């Protein structure tokens, strides 16, 4: 029993040492070799925030479009060249436009994209507030003398008719 356990431990140790020798990211069946786990994380992170221009609702990590694999390859290449995340994103944005980044910069053309939802929300709040105010105004207003008298009349009228 103990020998089994030690055997298993040795096996696991061998397995982990195998992985620590080289780290790799596997995306859509393509393997990208890196020196460290950090690099793998960086690569996966970039593939996550970069958008495939062909299949417009997928990122580079999810897409199996040929252009997405070319772009992943380029990201890998630029990473090995030692470029920073920003440099890599800029490289692709310079060729494919703001569209390739899931976080486009705030500019005149992207203003509505960034702040549209907030504006819609504020309009919604405003409408809600107006409606609420109208409701409370109606509730809070006491009946006038005439209205009270009319109410009484209607009540007694209803009473007499039911009797």
CB of 68 to other proteins, least distance (A): 9
> Toward other proteins, which CB reaches closer, 49 or 67?
67
**Residue 32 in 3-state DSSP?**
strand
Judged by CB under 8 A, the residue of 130, 135, 136, 150 near other proteins is 130
Judged by CB under 8 A, the residue of 44, 62, 74, 83 near other proteins is 74
Contact between 72 and 30 (Cβ < 8 Å): yes
> Toward other proteins, which CB reaches closer, 17 or 56?
56
Direct distance between the N- and C-terminal alpha carbons of the chain, in angstroms, rounded to an integer: 94
DSSP conformational letter for 30:
E
Judged by CB under 8 A, the residue of 122, 131, 149, 154 near other proteins is 131
């Amino acid at each position: 029993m103990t020998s089994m356990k030690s055997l298993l431990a040795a096996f696991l140790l061998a397995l982990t040492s195998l992985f620590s020798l080289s780290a790799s990211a596997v995306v859509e069946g393509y393997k990208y070799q890196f020196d460290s786990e950090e690099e793998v994380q960086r690569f996966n992170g970039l593939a996550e925030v970069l958008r495939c221009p062909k299949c417009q609702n997928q990122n580079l990590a999810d897409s199996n479009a040929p252009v997405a694999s070319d772009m992943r390859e380029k990201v890998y290449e630029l990473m090995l060249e030692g470029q920073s995340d920003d440099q890599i994103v800029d490289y692709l944005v310079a060729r494919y436009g703001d569209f390739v980044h899931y976080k486009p910069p705030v500019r005149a053309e992207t203003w509505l994209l960034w702040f549209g939802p907030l504006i819609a929300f504020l309009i919604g709040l405003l409408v809600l507030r107006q409606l609420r105010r109208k409701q409370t105004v109606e509730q809070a207003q006491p009946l006038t003398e005439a209205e009270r008298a009319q109410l009484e009349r209607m009540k007694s009228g209803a009473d007499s008719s039911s009797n």
